[in-house]
Amino acid sequence: MDSFLTSRVVTDVLSGLTNGAIYGLVALSLVLVWRATRVLNFAQGAMPMFATYLGMGLLSYDWPYWVCVGVSLVAAFAIGAVTERVLVRPLYGKPEINPIVVMVGYLIILEAFAAAIWSTTPRSLPAPFSPIDWKLAGQPVGLSPFSLFEVVTALVVMGAIVGLFRFTRIGLQLRASALAPEVSRLLGVRVGRMLTLGWMLSTAVGAVTAILVASNFFTGLTPQLMDGIFAFGFIAAAVGGLDSPVGAVASGIALGVVLQFVGDYLNSNAIILVALGILIVSLMVRPNGLLTRSAARRV
Amino acid sequence: MSAVARRGAVALGGLVVAVALGFALAPRTSDAVAVAAVAAVAAVGGFVGSLPTVRAEHPALARAMLTVVLVDLVVFATAFLSVPTDFNLATGAGMAIVLLGLSFLTGASGQISIGNGAFMGVGAFATAIWANHHATTPIVVTLLISVAVGALFGLLLGLPATRLRGPYLAGMTLAFAVAFPAILSSFNSWTGGDSGLQLPNSVTAPPWLVGLFHAGTPTLTTDTLWLTDVVMVATGVAFFFMANLFASRTGRAMRLVRDNDVAAELVGVALPRTRVIAFVISAAYAALGGALWTLLNNSVSPATYGFALSITILAVIVIGGIGTISGAIIGGVVYAYSTNVIAWFVARTGLNPQGNLASQLNGIIFGALLIVTMMFSPLGIAGTIRHLRQRRALARERR
């Protein structure tokens, strides 16, 4: 039994789940924004990165860890709200490439400002729990207290978002504004506020992700922290379907596990190549994602 | 003697005199050819009719004439400019080709690619790899092979594009741009790993091409002026083809796809094929730009073709004017001179040139310009100029 738990396969599955939780969170934040406003947010990695710098930077002034996490989340809410109001709102109803380009510009500018203020030197964030794998009979299991914390955090955040959408009044209004803005407005939903709220939630989910990534991947916090992760998160969201939160999370986790095997049994360069291959094939088979009910486009 | 015949005789006579003068006076064959080409353009124009007539009745001819004259002027100018300036201009020209491809993709299909820096890298590495394995291949053939490889990669990534709408394609090309460095290092033995590749000294050009641009015998890989002129001519050819494509039946079909894909399908445009063709052409143009950069630098490094290049490409074409031909030229100039302008600005304001802010100024300015352009004038500099001219023309009519 012990040898089974420390076998290569089980270790890969466990490490894959940890990475997959991260991809799933990025995918979830992309889906939140896409459902609310039909914008694929290319700054989805950069906005939380900025919030994380603002919040976790307070660590150097000896603020307690969890307070810094709280400040990061508040900063993320603020950045999400301001971005939606100032940058995104004027673009509703414009050709679909306009918001794409604006968000790429926003990505450039956020990363440049972060590098100008905090420099490109990585900043190490303390992990709140030990990142060293548990051992069974002297063999690492592929799971550490911190990676367990990551998976649990991801599940809690996903559960909270799903719960919010399914079971609360606000969630109902959020869904209604995304599906039928005109009708919702007539029925008294403040649609504008709901769209802003969608962006705030998405950026906050992103901030949780960014903090986990910056403490876990031995990379530390850098302005380009989320570039690579964003690509994997997008692939997960596109494979699962940009309209489906559950699909995004599920395919994120699946992607993490598959890629862990690829990295272990082939090599680390093959990871992104296989991910790209999965994306191309799945888009050819199901352009709207594997887990969405395909809807006819209205003309 | 009819009027046409008289005009023709005058034009021919002028042509002969101009060619003779050119060969007698010009220092390099290319300059003589340039003079001759301008004279030929004038002669053809004189024979066919006045300039407005040519423009109205033979648009392709008019475009050819315009291309020849512009390329001539630039080739002439490069002989008198400093080596760094030449190099800078040629780098910008290579970028303009890439921008043209992206501009076409958006102008023709309403889609956008965030991965054209990677397609550029495909062309750049294809040139270096081929030249290292087959050093005797004439450089023109190597360039064409690189373009073909770029088109092949475009086809591979473009296949899903038949069924995709805007944001998915953009995301997929972004993933490609992020994956590109990993692709390069997966094939280390070919791509030279982190250090990249040098062009071998034995790379050759056909003698007529060397003779055309150089009086003596240049070493291909070190003669900046020669390379600059070759890049300029390639740019001219690329622009000429694209201008015709924009105006052709295919070009019209593509604009219809951009404006209303459902209507396009109803009038018989094959949507999937049109989308894929647009994407493949943009990839091929990017590959040509990259191939020329390799030629110009005499080497290729993987660091050049990272994710940052892809977003810079998007930024300069949007600022120049996406969907327009002139926007690609403006974008190329912006790209070529942005570093100089920013360095001047840093020196002027007394910022610490080694400081964080100075080193990030590029990103801050490009990012801000990108957002401002898209918010207030989505057609960029080229579109704004066109808009102003139309307004002036309207005002003149009312008067």
Best of A39, A88, A280, A294 to mutate (most B CBs within 10 Å, chain B): A280
Q: Tell if the CB–CB gap between B362 and A112 is shorter than 8 Å.
A: yes
Average pLDDT value for chain B? 81
Count of CB pairs separated by less than 8 Å, A with B: 151
**pLDDT value of residue A54:** 94
Query: Who has greater pLDDT, B261 or B243?
Result: B243
Mean pLDDT, range B266-288, rounded to an integer = 87
Mean pLDDT, range A154-164, rounded to an integer = 89
Mean pLDDT, range B201-222, rounded to an integer = 57
Ramachandran angles phi, psi of A130, nearest 5°: -65, 130
Is residue A298 situated within a structural domain? no
Q: What is the ipTM of this complex?
A: 0.86
Is the CB of residue B190 less than 8 Å away from at least one CB of chain A?
no
Is residue A291 situated within a structural domain? no
**pLDDT value of residue B210:** 62
Is the CB of residue B168 less than 8 Å away from at least one CB of chain A?
yes
Mean pLDDT, range A86-93, rounded to an integer = 88
pLDDT at residue A298 is higher than 50: no
Q: Which domain holds residue A200?
A: 2-285
Is residue A294 situated within a structural domain? no
Chain B environment of A279 (Cβ under 8 Å): 172, 175
Q: Tell if the CB–CB gap between A95 and B307 is shorter than 8 Å.
A: no
Least confident of A73-82, A239-248, B192-201, B220-229: B220-229
* Chain B residues 14-73 with CB within 8 Å of chain A: none
Is residue A275 situated within a structural domain? yes
- Taking alpha carbons only, the member of B374, B127, B170 closest to residue B279 is B170
Tally of domains within chain A: 1
Please list the alpha-helical segments (H only) found in chain B. 3-25, 29-48, 51-57, 59-78, 83-109, 116-133, 139-158, 166-186, 188-191, 207-213, 224-247, 249-259, 261-266, 271-297, 307-320, 325-349, 356-376, 380-398
**pLDDT value of residue A82:** 96
Mean pLDDT, range A186-213, rounded to an integer = 90
Is residue A125 situated within a structural domain? yes
Query: Who has greater pLDDT, B109 or B208?
Result: B109
CA distance A243 to chain B (A): 12
Q: Tell if the CB–CB gap between B364 and A113 is shorter than 8 Å.
A: yes
Distance CA B321, CA A297 (A): 30
Q: Tell if the CB–CB gap between B315 and A108 is shorter than 8 Å.
A: yes
**pLDDT value of residue A26:** 94
- Concatenate the DSSP letters of all residues of A186-218 into one string: HTT--HHHHHHHHHHHHHHHHHHHHHHHHHHSS
pLDDT at residue B214 is higher than 70: no
Q: Which CATH number belongs to the domain containing residue A49 in this structure?
A: 1.10.3470
The closest CB to that of B182, out of A269, A283, A299, belongs to A269
Of how many residues is chain B composed?
A: 399
**pLDDT value of residue B224:** 66
Q: Tell if the CB–CB gap between B314 and A269 is shorter than 8 Å.
A: no
Is the CB of residue B12 less than 8 Å away from at least one CB of chain A?
no
How many Cβ atoms are within 10 Å of B154's Cβ, its own excluded? 30
Nearest CA in chain A to B155: A280
Q: Tell if the CB–CB gap between B357 and A116 is shorter than 8 Å.
A: yes
Average pLDDT value for chain A? 86
pLDDT at residue B94 is higher than 80: yes
pLDDT at residue A299 is higher than 50: no
Q: Per residue in B333-367, pLDDT tens?
A: 999 998 888 888 888 888 887 888 888 888 899 99
* B201: DSSP letter: T
Mean pLDDT, range A34-49, rounded to an integer = 90
Q: Which two tokens stand for residue A82?
A: 């301001």
Nearest CA in chain B to A279: B172
CA distance A276 to chain B (A): 7
Nearest CA in chain B to A121: B356
How many Cβ atoms are within 10 Å of B262's Cβ, its own excluded? 10
pLDDT at residue B13 is higher than 80: no
pLDDT at residue B286 is higher than 70: yes
Q: Tell if the CB–CB gap between A111 and B363 is shorter than 8 Å.
A: yes
* A64: DSSP letter: -
Distance CA A31, CA A247 (A): 10
- Concatenate the DSSP letters of all residues of B33-94 into one string: HHHHHHHHHHHHHHHH--HHHHHHH-HHHHHHHHHHHHHHHHHHHHTTS-HHHHHHHHHHHH
How many Cβ atoms are within 10 Å of A294's Cβ, its own excluded? 11
Nearest CA in chain A to B364: A109
Is the CB of residue B111 less than 8 Å away from at least one CB of chain A?
yes
For residue A297, what pLDDT band results from cuts at 50, 70 and 90?
Answer: low
Q: Could you tell me what percent of chain B has a pLDDT over 90? A: 25
Q: Which two tokens stand for residue B311?
A: 């977003």
CA distance A51 to chain B (A): 18
* A99: DSSP letter: H
- Amino acid identity of residue A100, one-letter, is I
- Concatenate the DSSP letters of all residues of A5-24 into one string: HTSHHHHHHHHHHHHHHHHH
Query: Who has greater pLDDT, A114 or B49?
Result: A114
How many Cβ atoms are within 10 Å of B29's Cβ, its own excluded? 17
Q: Tell if the CB–CB gap between B167 and A235 is shorter than 8 Å.
A: no
Is residue A299 situated within a structural domain? no
Q: Tell if the CB–CB gap between B375 and A91 is shorter than 8 Å.
A: yes
Is the CB of residue B364 less than 8 Å away from at least one CB of chain A?
yes
**pLDDT value of residue B318:** 93
Is residue A290 situated within a structural domain? no
A67 Cβ neighbours under 8 A, 6+ residues apart: A58
* Host H or E run for residue A184: helix A181-186
Q: Which two tokens stand for residue B201?
A: 């000294």
Identify the top-confidence range among A215-219, A291-295, B298-302: B298-302
pLDDT at residue B282 is higher than 80: yes
The closest CB to that of A238, out of B168, B176, B356, belongs to B168
Q: Tell if the CB–CB gap between B186 and A269 is shorter than 8 Å.
A: yes
Chain B environment of A276 (Cβ under 8 Å): 175-176, 179
